[in-house]
Structure 1
Amino acid sequence: MVNYRYLGNSGFKVSEITYGNWVTHGSQVDDSAAIATVHTALDLGITSFDTADTYANTAAEVVLGKALQGQRRESLEIFTKVYWPIGPKGPNDQGLSRKHILDGIHGSLRRLDVDYVDLYQAHRYDYETPLEETMQAFADIVRQGKALYIGVSEWTAEQLRAGHALATELGFQLVSNQPQYSALWRVIEGTVVPTSQELGISQIVWSPMAQGVLSGKYLPGAPVPEGSRATDEKSGASFIKRFLRDDVLTAVQQLKPIAQEAGLTMPQLAIAWVLQNPNVSAALVGASRPEQLKDSVRASGVVLDAEVKAAIDAALAPVAVTDPALTAEVSPKSRPA
């Protein structure tokens, strides 16, 4: 079964393996397969589920809502997000304005078929809306009981500090940040993690397997496997390209004997690695097939000893990305078109 961790300085616990439906529901797999995978997640002890209104242009929320029908609501932790363009993508169908946030939460609750979400997240930082307006809208949503906790995604250390200060002033908790994090993409370690630890904010990390590269299935000098994420524009092919270099793929192959010695599969090793960071509360995993989840959940509770962690870091040191400034490049400086 899956272990639980507290989210930020709150009393709220989430499953440290959290199911995310970014590139699967509503696009990569049909609804029946998606629902079967969610049911497998529940059977394996996963109770935390992450989605967003923008995934498959709102369709992913609908599928997740269907998949969770009949489950005891109090036993689930449901996360969603707001920011990116949705619907017809009009001038107010995006960003973190009060209008879009309030429209967003109402739409998400309707699609998920729930009365509240456990965690509502700002999917990026909005440079075009005053932060005070954004945080006041989140405060109102919490007071109305439509979201229990508030989080963000890919905010810089400075943005987290400013948001946390306003949240405290307005009487609610900013408990989480959702950044990309893996043994290959370590940009949060320099400033985001130390600031988050100081403020009582946890990380819910996405792409712990670096879009599947850390599974070891992509080989240097070889074509990418047919049907893999790298061949499917709907499932994140643009994100994986940065890792499909021969030097990266060669370094990743060095992890195979390390995983074997630890008694883990390559995906388990990658997920366990991010969970060794004490500021990480959950690793987001997706799946197009139930058996993928069955492998991933075995990373829960794994403790990597110092020698194993050092061996992983040494193998990937020449290719791991660590520049903290890259976090600031994730949020568009103007509203996305």
Structure 2
Amino acid sequence: MRLAPHPADQFAAFYALSLTGKTVSEIAERFSVAPRIVERRLKLATVSPRLMELFRANAVTLDHMAAFTLTDDHGEQEAAYFDVPEHDRQAYRVKQRLIGGRVNSQTNATAKFVGLDAYRAAGGAVSQDLFAQADDAGFITDLTLLERLASEALEAEARALEPEGWAWVRPRCASTTACRKPMAEPIPPVAPVSAEALARIEELTAEMRELEELDPQTEQAAERVSQIEDLIYDLESSGVEVYAPEVKAITGAIVTIGDDGALRIERGCAKPGADTKALRKLDGKATEGGASIARERTKKAVGASPTSWCWT
């Protein structure tokens, strides 16, 4: 009975064809497989011969072989497997050792913020993970370059904020918890309501009071009161949030990277040791142009529990 070929035989066959000048697409068409499969098989064919023999003997798994492809250095591949006790040679542990201090380009916040295109354009190398689901997944190897690119981008964003008039603007590159130091709570901005919105609120409020005084109450009146409450809420929330000049004079803004890799700007932050008495005096004050209802809404916001913190 003829034995089925070992997967390593296919790796070798694909690799032999590539040496004759066949492209990935041509090999894929010949074997009726996706080009991605060919790329993976060609990469697997370059694993250390010593480890390939273990694979042929079923001493290591395909997951092990996939992990070995994270580096082209046969010495590093073999060290990640042979230089540790046998009980610590699982495929995921091999992958961890080969990754080392590298960061995942798909999940690391700083990597997502900078982007692989910008990183590669600056000369950065990526240890590609052909076995990940994402087409361009891999591990960034030059962390110094990555952090420099992130810092430059954040500094540019910080300079763009300077015309807003803050006492200070600070970029903060790292987004890891270890580097964070708590600052004072950010002062909530004021959202003054326009004169037109205030006039409409007064009209709706008067109508609502008339409906509430009806005796007996009707279902239609109750529905209208509910509609009016929603309309008033929308009008009260229609103002554009702004900070008063006196707030900007003693607070600043931090430009950083969110956990999702997006740009994050924290405005109205106070440094440790800031004049807390002056900050308290600002509680509840409306910006220029704000009317009484805006002041009332601001007082409630300032007295509420903070939803975020500023860090440096």
**Shorter-normalised TM-score: what interval?**
under 0.3
* TM-score (normalizing by structure 2): 0.18
Q: Which of 1 and 2 has greater Rg?
A: 2
Report which structure shows greater RCO (CA 8 Å, sep ≥6). 1
Question: Larger % of strand: which?
Answer: 1
